[in-house]
């Protein structure tokens, strides 16, 4: 098509504005009214379905009259170039371009833009129209305002198309609601989900489920919750983040019901936090860049103050995240850079104090255990010995305590689990080379032959020997050495329990050691040197039967299906994704009333993960056409015979156009929605 060409004797093409998969948009001049317009011309080809969709866009958009909806002026067909649509021309840019200029977009601007968009959808939803393709590229922002929603090419009337439709799903995947990806179903809440994605993208610069490829994205949208905006973009107002999270709910029932409800929610946020919505929107859209700079500066000051407060409370990690967000707003800020270099004021003291406190608590447990053991054994030197132990534990230099605190803090940060392990079992270890009250190193205490683990954990310190000071180098328990050395059955036939390092079959070795201690056991006999039989160590390698781990069955079904296992319903996909089942063989059935049922059998081994991805086949529908005798009958432009037909016409589930043509008479046409597995009777009336 050449520039300067005139369509339908009225619209002169000036220049191309953009090109999409279905149509090309031109800037044109309306010669009759002497005004610029946007002319959207459909690409040739594509069949009657595309032409019908193009015509439907014109009808639906023309039925809406709202400041935030792009106005349709005309629809026509040119003999040489086919159908075209004439709309008002918006001098401005689309929302994606504006967001790029304003990035990072302040939350106040996000609320304004979202409010204007929600108002456009409220007007459409009030007439039963669902847009189905809300995305930044279809949102136009005029110079000086307002914002306008365009491109109703995928829009549909709710009362003309069933919400359970599972036909071909069209739209832009990152902005499609889970129910649309799964079954093709849509409702006003599907448009609300798309607005939620746009709001999230305006705030963060990315969509909530951005992933590697379409399959990953679709799976993430259907199975995962969107990340919290307050985590992705620190400083985002909590009310805004909460509203966006509601819009992005996987279940449509948990979202704002339609555009009107969403508009009211955004209006309340603006009124409470910024000002009267209409006034704020008018001022911002009059000069978006200046408004964004003003709001961005105010937000920078808030983030700076929040970062200072977090540093003062010793929350260094959170402070760094907040301050890095502030640095994005003001990349050259020397003040932020200085705060980022500043260490938290009290976090090191707190962590060190906690670590030292844990170690001293462990020492107290060991000390009290040894004292109780000596008292029960009637040792004469018990009282004197306990006095020496207290002195040994407390008379430590400030340098030693400081070193201990640093080491404890480091271990607590790097591996908190090791701290817990140390608390439970450190008392069971005997320190090598511990200093006595005389300042000389005492030999390592040897384990008593035949002693149980419980006896050795509470064994008394030999008379005159100093209890070692608590050690602060927190280490994980080496189960194979510690327990193996402690549990012996006798000098002649030493048997060590087979305990693996770390975890064995999900059982923690440190917990295993503690659980092996006999309850109510007194260690007093240990002081007499009498040998006792060892306490059997319970564990997976010592004769204890460990329950078999359940198997995991992962199920997906397209479209949705009710999942039955051995005849019992487990729920519906995509809500049902994983089933934990004992090992065995199961009968699976996937049921969707519009599809043929699928039966499968699966055998699961203990601990095994099995995936079943099922695609259900839609049942065919039937259309019984009643038309004037001799009329040629068409379904979606395909001739199916001459009336009267001998039987119904088999078609796919969804919407179809049925036409009857007679010579010398206007065609009779009806659009119908048919449901899989059912028969629909269509009567084409005869005009008298």
User: β-strands 609-615, 551-558: how paired?
Assistant: parallel
Complete edge-to-edge strand list for the sheet that includes strand 621-626: 649-651, 621-626, 679-683
3-state secondary structure of 302: helix
Under 8 Å between Cβ of 574 and 548: no
Q: How many CB atoms lie within 10 A of CB 529?
A: 10
Q: Where are the alpha helices (DSSP H) in 127-212?
A: 178-182, 188-204
**Could you give the CA distance from residue 189 to residue 172 in angstroms, rounded to a whole number?**
16
- Give me the active site residues, please: 133
Query: Please, which residues have CB within 8 angstroms of residue 475's CB and are 6 or more apart in sequence?
Result: 418, 422
Give the side-chain half-sphere CA count within 13 A for 304. 17
Under 8 Å between Cβ of 44 and 64: no
**Could you give the CA distance from residue 86 to residue 67 in angstroms, rounded to a whole number?**
17
**Could you give the CA distance from residue 188 to residue 388 in angstroms, rounded to a whole number?**
78
What angle, rounded to 10 degrees, do the helices at 107-126 and 259-273 form? 150
As to burial, measured by CB atoms within 10 angstroms (0-12 exposed, 13-18 middle, 19+ buried), residue 2 is: exposed
Query: Please, which residues have CB within 8 angstroms of residue 566's CB and are 6 or more apart in sequence?
Result: 586, 587
Residue-wise DSSP of 332-344: T-HHHHHHHHSPP
**Could you give the CA distance from residue 19 to residue 495 in angstroms, rounded to a whole number?**
81
**Could you give the CA distance from residue 197 to residue 262 in angstroms, rounded to a whole number?**
13
**Could you give the CA distance from residue 43 to residue 383 in angstroms, rounded to a whole number?**
99
Preceding amide of 636 cis, omega within 30: no
Please enumerate, as own/partner, the contacts of 253-257 that have beta carbons within 8 Å and a separation of 24 or more: 253/189, 255/189, 255/192, 255/193, 255/196, 256/189, 256/192, 257/188, 257/189, 257/192
């Amino acid at each position: 098509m050449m520039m300067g060409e005139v369509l339908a004797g009225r619209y002169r093409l000036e220049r191309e504005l953009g090109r999409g998969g279905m149509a090309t948009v031109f800037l044109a001049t309306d010669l009759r009214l002497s005004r610029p317009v946007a002319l959207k011309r459909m690409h040739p080809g594509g069949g009657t379905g595309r032409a019908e969709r193009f015509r439907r866009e014109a009808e639906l958009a023309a039925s809406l009259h709202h400041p935030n909806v792009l106005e349709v002026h005309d629809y026509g067909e040119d003999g040489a170039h086919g159908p075209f649509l004439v709309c008002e021309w918006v001098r401005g840019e689309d929302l994606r371009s504006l967001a790029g200029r304003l990035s990072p977009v302040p939350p106040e601007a996000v609320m304004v833009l979202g409010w204007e968009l929600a108002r456009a959808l409220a007007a459409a939803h009030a007439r039963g129209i669902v847009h189905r393709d809300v995305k930044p590229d279809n949102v136009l922002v005029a110079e000086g305002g307002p914002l306008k929603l365009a491109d109703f090419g995928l829009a549909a009337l709710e009362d003309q198309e069933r919400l359970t439709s599972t036909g071909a799903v069209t739209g832009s995947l990152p902005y499609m609601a889970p129910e649309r990806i799964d079954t093709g179903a849509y409702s006003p809440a599907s448009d609300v989900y798309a607005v939620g994605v746009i709001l999230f993208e305006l705030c963060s610069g990315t969509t909530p489920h951005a992933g590697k490829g379409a399959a990953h994205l679709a799976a993430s949208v259907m199975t995962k919750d969107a990340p919290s905006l307050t985590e992705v973009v620190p400083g985002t107002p909590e009310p805004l983040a909460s509203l966006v999270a509601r819009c992005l709910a996987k279940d449509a029932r948990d979202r704002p019901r339609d555009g009107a409800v969403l508009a009211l929610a955004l209006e309340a946020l603006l009124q409470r936090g910024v000002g009267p919505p209409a006034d704020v929107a008018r001022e911002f859209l009059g000069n978006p860049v200046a408004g964004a700079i003003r709001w961005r500066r105010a937000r920078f000051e808030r983030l700076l103050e929040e970062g200072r407060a977090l540093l003062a409370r010793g929350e260094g990690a959170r402070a760094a995240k907040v301050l890095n967000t502030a640095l994005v707003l003001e990349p050259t800020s020397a003040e932020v850079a200085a705060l980022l270099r500043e260490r938290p004021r009290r976090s090191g003291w707190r962590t060190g104090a906690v670590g030292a406190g844990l170690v001293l608590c462990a020492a107290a447990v060991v000390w009290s255990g040894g004292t109780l053991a000596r008292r029960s054994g009637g040792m004469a030197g018990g009282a004197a010995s306990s006095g020496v132990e207290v002195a040994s534990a407390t008379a430590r230099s400030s340098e030693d305590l400081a070193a201990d605190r640093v080491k404890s803090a480091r271990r607590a940060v790097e591996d908190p689990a090791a701290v817990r392990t140390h608390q439970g079992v450190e008392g069971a270890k005997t320190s090598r080379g511990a200093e006595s009250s005389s300042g000389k190193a005492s030999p390592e205490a040897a384990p008593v032959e035949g002693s149980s683990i419980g006896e050795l954990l509470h064994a008394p310190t030999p008379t005159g020997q100093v209890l070692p000071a608590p050690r602060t180098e927190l280490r994980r328990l080496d189960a194979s050495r510690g327990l193996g050395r402690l549990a012996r059955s006798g000098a002649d036939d030493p048997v060590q329990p087979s305990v693996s390092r770390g975890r064995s079959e999900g059982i923690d070795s440190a917990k295993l050691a503690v659980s092996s201690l006999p309850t109510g056991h007194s260690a007093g006999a240990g002081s007499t040197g009498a040998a006792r039989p060892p306490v059997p160590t319970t564990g997976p390698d010592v004769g204890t039967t460990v329950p078999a781990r359940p198997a995991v069955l992962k199920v997906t079904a397209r479209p949705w299906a009710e999942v039955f296992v051995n005849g019992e319903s487990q729920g519906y996909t995509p809500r049902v994704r994983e089933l934990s089942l004992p090992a065995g063989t199961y009968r699976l059935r996937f049921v969707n009333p519009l599809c043929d049922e699928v039966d499968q059998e699966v055998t699961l081994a203990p601990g095994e993960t099995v995936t079943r991805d099922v695609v259900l086949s839609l049942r065919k529908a039937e259309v019984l056409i009643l038309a004037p005798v001799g009329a040629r009958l068409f379904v979606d432009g395909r001739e199916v015979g001459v009336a009267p037909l001998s039987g119904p016409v088999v078609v796919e589930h969804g919407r179809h156009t049925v036409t009857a043509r007679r010579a010398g008479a206007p065609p009779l046409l009806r659009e119908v929605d048919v449901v899989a597995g059912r028969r629909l009777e269509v009567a084409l009336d005869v005009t008298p």
